[in-house]
Amino acid sequence: MIDQSFIKQLAGIVGPEHVFTQKEDMLTYSYDAAVLDSRMPGGAVMPGNTEELGEIVALCNGAGVPITVRGSGTNLSGGTIPESDGIVLLTGRLNQILEINEADMYAVVRPGVVTAALAAEVEKKGLFYPPDPGSMAVSTLGGNVAENAGGLRGLKYGVTKDYVMGLHFFDALGNYVKTGSRTVKCATGYNITGLMVGSEGTLGVLDQITLKLIPAPVARQSMVAVYDTIEKASETVAAIIAAHILPATLEILDNFTIRAVEDYSKAGLPMDADALILIEVDGHPAVVAEEGEKVQALCRQFGAQSVTLAKTDEERDKIWAARRSALSALAQVKPTLVLEDATVPRSKIPDMVRSLQAIAKKYKIDIGTFGHAGDGNLHPTILTDRRDQEEFHRVEQAIEEIFDKAIDLGGTLSGEHGTGIAKAPFLEKEAGYSSILFSRRLRKALDPNNILNPGKITGVSE
Ligand SMILES: Cc1cc2nc3c(=O)[nH]c(=O)nc-3n(C[C@H](O)[C@H](O)[C@H](O)COP(=O)(O)OP(=O)(O)OC[C@H]3O[C@@H](n4cnc5c(N)ncnc54)[C@H](O)[C@@H]3O)c2cc1C
């Protein structure tokens, strides 16, 4: 239980200046980027090193106080909404890049390092850390690992799980667990690293992360293809994949999103286009030239009105900055933005796009669609006002129908935003009850006092 004596013990570990209980602070930590009810925690604590982190976990376990770890709080599934009788554990001071090993191509970081900070550091050494969530300027690597975050480059380079070589974390009892290794291959013991990635703070508190780096691509070419129907754009996406070309990035924006982005970023996007696809191919210059030609030809074959190549780095950066601003741009349109994450096999993108249009019409709601079309991960984004209860009820019905459609098409509820609280009630639809029971038994065995981010992923156990 959190009382004055517990707060005093926390202060004894980290110093009183790193323990927070003021109402304004609790308000800040009561919500994240998901559209869900907020919940004020009992306190927040910001450890500065491994020892302090371990002592906090052990203290909470002994006192039965729930812990919700918070990086930057940008997750979109309610993963950092705390328990009212719990504490928020902030990773802001655990923000050191411990090592960048150029010879063996890996980096060792603390969980509070901002994603873009690591990407920039390794780039200086001619190396590349590909996972690039749209939030990378603020998201932390701890949050990325715990959510198995994806990004714009997922199509060719994979997502966070493809780069996590090893972890150090505290389990619920306060034991320090080391998994994986700094070697490219590692087949020792269970694949605990794999289990921890995407575990959303429910199985342990990450303290150290070893990440694979790869050589930076030598050449790249970005282009924008303009379409008068979104069907043609989505068919082009499926055709590029079917031609066995894997661009680094293959993104789609519908007209609703194009207009919002253009209003917001003045990037020069054609406001009257029904859809755009933004493409980047990268690698060896000869491959870039060949794949670039093939992609342009496919765009034209499937009805692109124009295909424009970025001629300079500035033009390239402008394209991707515009794309990265999509969510912020849409957020300006109405008071509430619900960003969905349903993902389908790539060949089903045209079906999914058509279904989204039909769902928007059926429930008389605004849905802007953009996203990582190349890996089947669309972000249907519903713009609404949560205070309008009647409209929000229609939005909830539409969301359920989007989930059902994605599953019917052989897809998944979440390509990259995780389960958290938002998707926990729908997990059974996709994974089945046995899978939920298995996960709950796992949690109970590893966390007998249920202190690690209770209620997330597996919901509340009976
Ligand atoms: C504008 C915008 C764009 C986005 N674009 C993308 C995108 O392209 N791709 C994508 O995948 N996501 C995207 N996201 C979602 C979000 O940024 C990611 O989920 C990101 O990984 C969260 O990082 P964070 O530091 O904010 O983590 P938080 O939100 O603070 O935490 C996320 C989860 O990780 C857990 N956690 C954090 N640190 C630790 C730790 N040290 N130990 C154990 N558990 C921990 C938390 O408890 C929580 O469950 C976007 C969000 C926004 C707002």
Determine which of 96-105, 174-183, 193-202, 330-339 has the lowest per-residue pLDDT on average.
330-339
pLDDT band at 461 (very low <50, low <70, confident <90, very high): low
Contact 423, 385 (CB under 8 A): no
- CB-based contacts of 378: which residues, under 8 Å, 6+ apart? 252, 342, 343, 344, 349, 352, 353, 356, 369, 370, 371, 372
Whole-number Å distance, alpha carbon 70 to ligand 1 midpoint, is 9
Which single residue is written with the structure tokens 């390509």? 415
The CA distance from 44 to 7, in Å, is 9
* Angle of CA points 311, 315, 317, to nearest 5°: 130
* Angle of CA points 352, 243, 307, to nearest 5°: 75
- Interval 267-276 mean pLDDT: 92
- Interval 99-111 mean pLDDT: 98
Contact 379, 341 (CB under 8 A): yes
Whole-number Å distance, alpha carbon 113 to ligand 1 midpoint, is 12
The CA distance from 403 to 399, in Å, is 6
The CA distance from 303 to 239, in Å, is 12
Q: Which CATH fold topology does 97-215 show?
A: 3.30.465
Determine which of 54-68, 208-222, 255-269 has the lowest per-residue pLDDT on average.
255-269
pLDDT value of position 324: 87
- Interval 44-56 mean pLDDT: 98
- CB-based contacts of 168: which residues, under 8 Å, 6+ apart? 50, 176, 177, 178, 179, 206, 207, 208, 209
pLDDT value of position 265: 86
For ligand 1, atom 41, the nearest C-alpha belongs to 206
Rg of the chain on CA atoms, in Å: 22
- Measuring CA to CA, which residue among 328, 329, 236, 332 is closest to residue 276? 236
Whole-number Å distance, alpha carbon 353 to ligand 1 midpoint, is 26
- CB-based contacts of 256: which residues, under 8 Å, 6+ apart? 330, 366, 367, 368, 369
Mutation pick for ligand 1 pocket among 147, 176, 412, 457 (CB with most ligand atoms within 8 Å): 147
pLDDT value of position 462: 43
Q: In the predicted model, is pLDDT for residue 275 greater than 50?
A: yes
> Which protein residues touch ligand 1 with a CB less than 6 Å away?
32-33, 68-76, 79-80, 91, 111, 133-135, 139-140, 142-144, 146-147, 149-151, 200-201, 205-206, 327, 416-417, 453
* Angle of CA points 182, 185, 188, to nearest 5°: 85
For ligand 1, atom 13, the nearest C-alpha belongs to 133
Mutation pick for ligand 1 pocket among 53, 69, 72 (CB with most ligand atoms within 8 Å): 69
pTM for this prediction: 0.95
Residue type, 232: K
Percent of the chain with pLDDT over 90: 91
Please state which CATH number belongs to domain 218-329: 3.30.70.3450
The CA distance from 175 to 177, in Å, is 6
- CB-based contacts of 12: which residues, under 8 Å, 6+ apart? none
- Interval 167-181 mean pLDDT: 97
Percent of the chain with pLDDT over 70: 100
Contact 415, 340 (CB under 8 A): no
- CB-based contacts of 228: which residues, under 8 Å, 6+ apart? 273, 274, 303, 305
The CA distance from 221 to 230, in Å, is 23
Average pLDDT, the chain: 95
Q: In the predicted model, is pLDDT for residue 460 greater than 80?
A: no
In CATH, which of 3.30.70.270, 3.40.50.1370, 3.30.70.2740, 3.30.559.10 is domain 334-429? 3.30.70.2740
Same fold, 218-329 and 334-429: yes
Helix ranges, 370-432 (H): 389-408, 427-431
> pLDDT tens digit string along 106-149?
999 999 999 999 999 999 999 999 999 999 999 999 999 999 99
Whole-number Å distance, alpha carbon 246 to ligand 1 midpoint, is 26
- Interval 322-350 mean pLDDT: 90
Domain extent listing, the chain: 97-215, 218-329, 334-429
